Homo-oligomer: A and B are copies of this chain.
Amino acid sequence: MKHTNTYSLQCPIPKSDYEHVLLAHGGGGKLTQDLIDRMFVPLLGNEILDQGHDGALLPPMKETLAMTTDSFVVDPIFFPGGDIGDLAVNGTVNDLLCCGAEPLYISLAFILEEGFLLEDLWKIVQSVAHSAKTAGVKIVTGDTKVVERGKGDKIYINTTGVGRVLDGMDISPKRCKPGDVVIINGSLGDHGIAILTTRQGLELESQVKSDTAALSEMMLDVFSHVPEIHVLRDPTRGGVASALNEIAKSSGTGIKLEENLLPVSGSVRGACELMGLDPLYIANEGKILLIVAPEHAENTLSVMKKYPSGMDSRIIGEVSDEHPGILHLETSIGTSRIVDMISGEQLPRIC
């Protein structure tokens, strides 16, 4: 699995120096510099980060740029299949892909809680480095702040990404057309259920792993082979239901899902039944929704299925001119129901 060896390097700051994050690590002085020099630069360094400016200088880009930001406050910070570090990189990478962009540069800002274990920070830095490399992005600038004990929770991370929109890409909910098909690259709810079962100490027959993954390689291949993609969206917080609701609302078209076609693993289904949750609303962190004209569906699926993150890609629904602005689910017993946007907070701090 992807996490073998991710945490294999020995912490470069020995416990005899510091075991925990101190307020002074965020003070902008010697200890901040020590963190940067011993922990961040060796693993994250590249020709841009190494400029050592307050800001990074990036080469000119003649294409339209995409820019996106996300803060990650997931609890717990380590979970089956990943941690807050790769989540922070992958989340922003996937948001850039959803703009039709090639992800290029990422900024990395830590808010650390005083007393946080430096060994855990080191694990997370390794994970950030590993996932940035996998996704083909460079960490170009960063920031570290420390707050007092009880004013944070171990570590929060903000990543902001910049990418270049590929020629000819024009991704927008407004491009949804009746007849378009809705594609997803695999099963629903793995990330949310991995977090929730870990948090609650719930033992399932088989452990659910987060699907956290950067989809760059697969999606860049799709971009180069599929001439026209109408909409892209990663169904994170609020899950597939919220993402498709937003698209239906802003496009003014209806979207119809078929329950029979929704890929949900047995473990996720079981956990959802146990906890009274609906997999359609559970967060995913390595999934993407594509809306394309029906004539491009087969081609799209054949490209996606070449990749580990896309092996289980499939059509799960279609855009229609009935019920504009509304998401419908055709159930397995032949009835139809409206799937509304999530109203409360099903799963706080899921990402």
CA distance A47 to B242 in the complex (A): 24
Cross-chain contact B65 with A62 (CB below 8 angstroms) = no
Q: Residue A117 at the B interface, CB < 8 A?
A: no
CA distance A234 to B30 in the complex (A): 18
CB distance from A160 to the nearest CB of B (A): 4
Q: Residue A107 at the B interface, CB < 8 A?
A: yes
| Residues 281-331 (chain A) with a chain B CB within 8 angstroms | none
- Which chain B positions have C-beta within 8 A of A158? 69, 71, 109, 143, 158, 160
Cross-chain contact B54 with A58 (CB below 8 angstroms) = no
Q: Residue A271 at the B interface, CB < 8 A?
A: no
CA distance A153 to B242 in the complex (A): 29
Q: Residue A227 at the B interface, CB < 8 A?
A: no
Given known pairs A24-B345, A150-B150, the reply for A64 and B59 (CB within 8 Å) is yes
Nearest B residue to A144, CB-CB? B71
CA distance A70 to B142 in the complex (A): 7
**Number of A interface residues, CB 8 Å?**
80
Contact for A62 among B23, B55, B62, B99, CB less than 8 A: B62
Cross-chain contact A236 with B28 (CB below 8 angstroms) = yes
Q: Residue A124 at the B interface, CB < 8 A?
A: no
CB distance from A294 to the nearest CB of B (A): 24
Cross-chain contact B345 with A26 (CB below 8 angstroms) = yes
Given known pairs A60-B62, A236-B28, the reply for A53 and B99 (CB within 8 Å) is yes
Cross-chain contact B69 with A108 (CB below 8 angstroms) = yes
CA distance A151 to B148 in the complex (A): 11
Cross-chain contact A69 with B109 (CB below 8 angstroms) = yes
CB distance from A88 to the nearest CB of B (A): 12
Cross-chain contact B111 with A156 (CB below 8 angstroms) = yes
Stretch at the interface among A126-134, A200-208, A336-344: A336-344
Q: Residue A188 at the B interface, CB < 8 A?
A: no
Interface-centre pick from A69, A148, A234 (highest chain B CB count, 10 A): A69
Cross-chain contact A342 with B28 (CB below 8 angstroms) = yes
CA distance A326 to B145 in the complex (A): 26
| Residues 147-176 (chain A) with a chain B CB within 8 angstroms | 147-148, 150-153, 156, 158, 160-162, 165, 171-172
CA distance A109 to B140 in the complex (A): 18
CB distance from A99 to the nearest CB of B (A): 4
Cross-chain contact B69 with A141 (CB below 8 angstroms) = yes
CB distance from A281 to the nearest CB of B (A): 8
Q: Residue A256 at the B interface, CB < 8 A?
A: no
Cross-chain contact A67 with B143 (CB below 8 angstroms) = no
CA distance A158 to B344 in the complex (A): 25
Cross-chain contact B69 with A58 (CB below 8 angstroms) = no
25 contacts between A and B (CB under 8 A): A27-B238, A29-B238, A29-B342, A29-B344, A30-B341, A31-B344, A32-B237, A53-B171, A54-B233, A55-B67, A55-B96, A56-B68, A57-B65, A57-B99, A59-B64, A59-B65, A60-B62, A65-B162, A69-B142, A109-B158, A111-B156, A148-B349, A152-B152, A158-B160, A162-B162
Shortest 7 CB-CB contacts between residues of A and residues of B: A28-B237, A55-B68, A29-B342, A160-B160, A24-B345, A69-B107, A158-B158
Where the two chains meet, the residues of A that have a C-beta atom closer than 8 Å to any C-beta of B are 22-24, 26-33, 52-73, 95-96, 98-99, 101, 105, 107-111, 140-143, 145-148, 150-153, 156, 158, 160-162, 165, 171-172, 233-234, 236-238, 242, 250, 341-349
